């Protein structure tokens, strides 16, 4: 049975399965996390374990994401750090209290994470994200944020559902309001992943958001100051749906242009080849018209 505990200050979760009951350790935010006596219990399903939405009545599937609400009955091998209910190890939310189930690392000392943007290896501190029961790492110098992949997916799902958590008070501009980097800015530098140290790729999230984030496909994302707030707002306002619609329209336009180019290809050939093609097409069209006319005349007199 996997036993999760949460920091009382920043709500970062840890896997305390291998820790002794009654022991304690330091979270990277500086708070002491105690390992309580596990008192696991089975609880009724009142929330979806996939998206955290509340359940109404005895409906078999979530009305928001369509996930089966009976999945909680399988593989109950994890203890929720919020209410101690037994939950599935594959669940993203507790089916009883709705608390995110996100064990980022084993219970130990400080994470040792360092800011990938600042010089001098400034340490990152674990902090709670607004009123959400998740934690992320931020740099007190540049204001950048490191957020693990699973936690970002939870926040993105909440933003799609209309819930917009404010990052440390919010007030961030929209992606369109973020001023461009000055012409004298330093040359582009790829940053190392906070977890594995490999260089991250830089991507315009959703291709149309205007928020350029540093991404490690295995571990998480790095956001500069205001970028996480701005991106979550863009997702909440339907930016992903608009970007997908524009992408589909662009693909259709490219297909139409390709077909048009293929249809005009004979006219881009030398004069002699165009003449041959024109005569051939005229002959074919003439035979087709003759056949149609003959059939119509025969039908008329029958």
- The pLDDT of residue 110 is above 60: no
52: left (phi over 0), alpha (psi -120 to 50) or beta: left
Q: Which of 179, 237, 183 is nearest to 208 (CA)?
A: 237
Please report the pLDDT score of residue 184 as a whole number: 44
- pLDDT tens sequence across 71-86: 555 566 677 777 767 7
Instruction: Give the pLDDT confidence score for residue 229 in this predicted structure.
Output: 87
Query: What is the rounded CA–CA span in Å between residue 267 and residue 294?
Result: 32
Q: Where are the domains of the chain?
A: 1-110, 125-237, 270-302
Tokens in use for 292? 């149609």
More confident residue, 52 or 253: 253
What per-residue confidence (pLDDT) applies to 213?
94
Distance CA 218, CA 291 (A): 65
At residue 107, the pLDDT reads 44
Residue 300 confidence (pLDDT) above 50: no
pLDDT of residue 116: 93
Provide the whole-model pTM: 0.55
Mean pLDDT over each residue of the chain, to the nearest integer: 73
Confidence of residue 100 (pLDDT cuts 50, 70, 90): confident
Highest mean pLDDT: which range of 104-113, 211-220, 242-251: 211-220
| Residue 217 pLDDT | 93
pLDDT at position 42, please? 64
């Amino acid at each position: 049975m996997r036993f999760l505990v949460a920091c009382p200050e920043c709500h970062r979760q840890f896997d305390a399965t291998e820790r002794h009951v009654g022991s304690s350790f330091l979270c990277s935010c500086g708070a002491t996390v105690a390992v309580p006596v596990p008192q696991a219990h089975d609880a009724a399903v009142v929330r979806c374990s996939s998206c955290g939405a509340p359940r109404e009545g005895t409906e078999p599937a979530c009305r928001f994401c369509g996930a089966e609400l009976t999945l909680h009955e399988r593989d109950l091998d994890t203890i929720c750090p919020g209410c101690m209910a037994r939950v599935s190890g594959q669940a993203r939310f507790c089916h009883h209290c709705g608390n995110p189930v996100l064990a980022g690392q084993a219970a130990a000392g400080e994470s040792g994470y360092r800011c990938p943007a600042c010089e001098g290896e400034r340490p990152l501190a674990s902090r709670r994200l607004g009123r959400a029961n998740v934690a992320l790492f931020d740099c007190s110098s540049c204001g950048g944020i490191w957020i693990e992949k699973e936690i970002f997916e939870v926040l993105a799902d909440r933003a799609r559902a209309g819930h917009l958590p404010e990052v440390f008070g919010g007030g961030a501009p929209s992606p369109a309001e973020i001023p461009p980097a000055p012409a004298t800015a330093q040359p582009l530098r790829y940053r190392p992943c906070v977890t594995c140290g490999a260089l991250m790729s830089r991507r315009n999230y959703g291709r149309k958001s205007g928020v350029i984030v540093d991404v490690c496909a295995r571990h998480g994302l790095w956001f500069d100051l205001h970028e996480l707030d701005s991106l979550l707002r863009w997702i909440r306002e339907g930016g992903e749906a608009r970007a997908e619609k524009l992408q589909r329209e662009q693909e259709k336009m490219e297909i139409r242009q390709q077909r048009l180019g293929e249809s005009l290809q004979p006219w881009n050939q030398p004069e002699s080849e165009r003449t041959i093609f024109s005569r051939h097409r005229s002959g074919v069209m003439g035979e087709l018209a003759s056949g149609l006319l003959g059939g119509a005349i025969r039908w008329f007199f029958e």
